[in-house]
Amino acid sequence: MNHTRRPAAPRRRSAPRLVLLLGTVVAAISAGVLLALTLGTGRNLAAMVVTPAPNVARDPNAAPLLALPTVATTAAGAPQPATILLLGTDRRPAEQVIPRSDAILVVRIEPATQRVAVLSLPRDLWIPIPGHDHNRLNAAYLWGEHDGPPGAGMALARATVSALLGVPIDYVAVTDFRGFAALIDTLGGITVNVERPLADDSFPTLDRGTTTVRFMSGPQVMDGATALTYARIRHPDSDFERGGRQQVVLLAIAQALRDRGYLANLLAAERLTGACADYTQTDMPPERMLELVWAMHTLDATAVERYALHETDVTFGVDNDRFAQTPLPGVIEHYARLLLYGP
């Protein structure tokens, strides 16, 4: 009697093993992608770093530095606080001349308490610049770059602002118009709430011409060029009001980064840092940048303390320079304490 054996049914891979295999493949691919992103981001950050120039000697007759506040640690291993000088330069495309610093802001970051404070300083403050007698504040970066090695502009600006405020400054970051606009475009734009209508029929263009610009009031999405225009416009009011607009744009960038979420920012980190790399210089080590960014990545931009001098805080005119501004007695000390200690 013939007996035919039925072929054995093919063994089916169990679902758990298949899931495990797929999970391993995905994890390996993800790890490779993250490694590539990390390496690319690291290269971009490293490209921004300029070896710090020697610090400019502090004038022994200058007022003593304010004591930094003691920040209670609320979480184990919270990064140390940092005081950072941000400079925006007015270099135009294809220009070879050394620019002045068009925007001057000091940022205080305290990760342990999630506190951030921003102080805008008018570029036309008439103050002592180490080694250069008195001049406008925005000349400090220019003279440092003119006289010294790479990084000397940051060093002289740091020494000047530190002496002015009586506040130690840990790091300096400098960017020009193109880096500012490129970052915003890479983010896909930012949302800015324009407080009141603005109009300027003589707005200076990057090619040294003029044009007409208009801003309606209310929230609006701005690309890099529009946000840059909003941060630069000053003819409708004053340089003091412009400083406030620069703060608004800076915080809108921070809010856009937060709204995107951790994963989106991680995946876009190489593009975001790459947009700034050619136009930004800093003396902050890359690992310190990443440490501060991570420590403050959930910060609500509306909680940032914003401070700026007003027209009533200065007198106008020094010799033949009618735009130079001299701070009234006690004004700078007042804002320096707000920056460090809050209201």
CA distance 170 to 158: 9
In a domain, 204, yes or no: yes
What is residue 72's predicted lDDT score, i.e. its pLDDT?
53
What is residue 263's predicted lDDT score, i.e. its pLDDT?
77
What is residue 126's predicted lDDT score, i.e. its pLDDT?
96
In a domain, 144, yes or no: yes
CA distance 335 to 312: 14
What is residue 23's predicted lDDT score, i.e. its pLDDT?
44
In a domain, 27, yes or no: no
CA distance 222 to 181: 10
What is residue 36's predicted lDDT score, i.e. its pLDDT?
45
What is residue 195's predicted lDDT score, i.e. its pLDDT?
92
In a domain, 59, yes or no: no
In a domain, 116, yes or no: yes
CA angle at 55 for the pair 49 and 58, rounded to the nearest 5°: 150
What is residue 268's predicted lDDT score, i.e. its pLDDT?
81
Residue-wise pLDDT tens for the chain (343 aa)? 555 555 555 555 455 554 444 444 444 433 443 444 466 787 887 888 887 667 777 777 776 778 777 655 445 578 899 999 999 987 766 667 788 888 999 999 999 999 999 999 999 999 999 988 999 999 999 999 888 888 899 999 999 999 999 999 999 999 987 888 899 999 999 999 999 999 999 888 877 788 999 999 999 999 999 999 999 888 888 888 989 999 999 999 999 988 888 778 777 888 888 888 888 999 999 889 888 988 888 888 889 999 999 999 999 999 888 889 999 999 999 999 999 999 8
- Among 138, 142, 148, CA closest to 50: 148
Contacts of residue 261, defined as CB under 8 A and 6 or more positions apart, other chains included, come to: none
Q: How many CB atoms lie within 10 A of CB 192?
A: 23
Contacts of residue 240, defined as CB under 8 A and 6 or more positions apart, other chains included, come to: 122, 308, 309, 310, 311
CA distance 300 to 125: 31
In a domain, 179, yes or no: yes
In a domain, 39, yes or no: no
In a domain, 164, yes or no: yes
What is residue 71's predicted lDDT score, i.e. its pLDDT?
59
Helices 15-48 + 286-295 axis angle, to 10 = 120
**Residue 332 C-beta-side C-alpha neighbours within 13 Å:** 22
CATH code of the domain covering residue 256: 3.40.630.190
Domain that holds residue 328: 44-48+74-341
What is residue 38's predicted lDDT score, i.e. its pLDDT?
62
CA distance 120 to 107: 9
What is residue 110's predicted lDDT score, i.e. its pLDDT?
95
> Could you give the number of structural domains in the chain?
1
